[in-house]
A and B are shown apart, each in its own frame.
Chain A
């Protein structure tokens, strides 16, 4: 948290205090509420304009209090699965259980108090300040005519601190860079103060600095609180570094699940991502070195690699 000084004028000390604040709040919360478990059972998910379901009878459980990463190639159904878990897509079949309760039986606001979702594409209106946008995160906690309470203000302050966007507070969202916008949207979801947080490709299209900022926020959530996080990530390496559990999808089917070490293997990359790659174990988690795309007529992964002179050179 103290490393990022590039765009952030907050001092390390104040950032340190931030984390402490959050931790304190998180621990007090967990004494009252149990860690939430989110489970999708036998999910059949599709879109109204397609006949074939994208996912056909898949189940997955987000480990309570941990970070679960969904990975897979484009069109593998990872975002669809996330939307299904968030109750944003109508289930063709199956059920989503939040702490054992079917989410269909929860009211929309009740659900939004427990489960937050950061969509892939967030659009903001022409003129809205960062603070105003983050306040929208309190929507599920407010009644139709209710005004802002102290509790709302505290939650917004905490979320803004945790997302590290305090210095942007009064800026117009439309004037921010893509990376800054993403942090602001994350702050809005954090202001919802949910037990479960679903993030759909939060790092895609961001520069490296902001990718790391986002990862840092998720790490903080994992380490300092008991929020259950499910995150769709494009970058498998990032996923392996960040997640406690990984789920790999291809063509709407879950191909592998387990710890990053179990899931992120050369054979998984060959099967699911159709690439030849070398996986090194490092102290910062597995490192993936993509080598070349695999084609249908390629043989087993090991055979191909023998024919790759570049491999040796690179190693």
Chain B
């Protein structure tokens, strides 16, 4: 058996073996199922609203060639140009409702990749941007911008990243004493997170404008309601950057998993690599927080679920997270909408509430199941 595999390895061209891991059946299966969930969830999400549409109508509109291949339309969407004329249905689907799904996709992918990175850097399965205080730090920074620096909303992702980085560095420095234990790290993260959450809440009292206060509130629990192409334009470049860097760094992440000592004896500058990769994690989390607020637990659950399916190889893990993260966020958003529609509530519940309700118990289940808490 081993001979057979080695034969395959040596016969194929280097380029072929290089991406061979992508065709792992488990990874392909995960990607396919996730993709299906995103598509179905997206169609359901888009069909709901004051202007009710059937799923078939939504599908027709989504596959409408006049929109799909119209450069002017994409210029409007991605660069903020003037929107060309389009049918009422296309307008509702493409302009008003689809952004919510697309932002959900970006948010899910970013948070999942961010969580995966933090889990490798800290070698701790319980690490995630939410647990490590990154989310709260970024949140406090964004509220600060809302309240006092209204003119800087253009730079929200960067401001959020600064806040998230500050929180993460604080946690890291408190928890780090010749290495860290998962429990120390989580405790420090919870406490620093609480401080930043208090700062966030404190700033609510300085909000004069009711509308701003309302959007700030939705924002602190993580919401996709009312997102449009503006948010996509904000999140897109940072997401692409973070994902490319995460994929490029996946081999470093794999070596980090061997432990600090081994990584160091293999010639890795461990502190520098950790710092660099953490920055990528902070950037990814902050980009998503800047457009959707604090959607909790996605960064914790998704990498864990993907790891259970494809294993701990970070090349596969990061790719898996790119698919599974969006599947979770989009379906949770649909769940929020359908469930509260069912019980007759006219208001909508932010997606962060659903991920929190699902993710919290999952976290507890992890704690119960895992004997050695949290070590990857």
Contacts and interface: CB of A to CB of B under 8 A. Distances in A.
Interface of A: 47-49, 86, 88, 107-113, 116-117, 119, 122-128, 132-133, 136-137, 139-140, 144-145, 147-148, 153, 166-167, 169-170, 192
Interface in B106-120: none
A88 B1 contact: no
Q: Contact residue range for chain B?
A: 20 to 34
Contact of A139 (B177, B255, B261): B255
Contacts of B268: 108-109, 139
Contacts of A127: 311-313
A189 to B, nearest CB: 8
15 contacts: A48-B178, A49-B177, A49-B178, A88-B261, A109-B267, A117-B265, A122-B258, A124-B258, A125-B257, A125-B258, A125-B312, A128-B313, A132-B313, A148-B14, A169-B2
Nearest to A133: B258
Nearest to A107: B267
B266 A192 contact: yes
B374 to A, nearest CB: 13
Contacts of A109: 267-268
A88 B264 contact: yes
Contacts of B262: 119, 122
A123 B261 CA distance: 10
A148 B257 CA distance: 20
A147 B248 contact: no
Contacts of A133: 258
A136 B265 contact: no
B6 interface: yes
Interface in B305-337: 307, 311-313
A265 to B, nearest CB: 34
B18 interface: yes
Contact of B266 (A48, A110, A136): A136
Contact of B376 (A86, A112, A116, A126): A126
A169 B9 CA distance: 13
A110 B269 CA distance: 11
B52 interface: no
B89 interface: no
A147 B258 contact: no
Nearest to A171: B2
Contacts of A170: 1-2, 5
A140 B267 contact: yes
Nearest to B269: A108
Contacts of B6: 169
B202 interface: no
B259 interface: yes
A227 to B, nearest CB: 16
B64 to A, nearest CB: 40
Interface string B181-207: 000000000000000000000000000
Contacts of A124: 257-258
B248 A145 contact: yes
A140 B266 contact: yes
| Interface core residue of A107, A119, A133, A167 (most chain B CB under 10 Å) | A119
Contacts of A113: 267
Interface in B357-376: 375-376
B180 interface: no
B254 interface: yes
A147 B18 contact: yes
B266 A112 contact: yes
B312 A126 contact: yes
| Interface core residue of A108, A110, A122, A147 (most chain B CB under 10 Å) | A108
B191 to A, nearest CB: 22
Contact of B178 (A47, A128, A144, A153): A47
Given A109-B267, A123-B375, A153-B10, 10 more contacts: A49-B178, A88-B265, A111-B267, A117-B261, A125-B254, A126-B376, A139-B255, A139-B267, A139-B268, A140-B267
A127 B312 CA distance: 5
Given A112-B265, A140-B266, A122 B312 contact: no
Nearest to A192: B266
A126 B264 CA distance: 20
Contacts of A192: 266
A136 B14 contact: no
Nearest to B263: A139
A192 B267 CA distance: 10
Given A88-B265, A108-B267, A123 B258 contact: yes
B258 A136 contact: yes
A260 to B, nearest CB: 27
Contacts of A126: 307, 311-312, 376
Interface in B226-262: 248, 252, 254-255, 257-259, 261-262
Contacts of A144: 248, 252
Nearest to B256: A125
Contacts of B177: 49
Contacts of A167: 2
A139 B312 contact: no
Contacts of B178: 47-49
Contacts of B18: 147-148
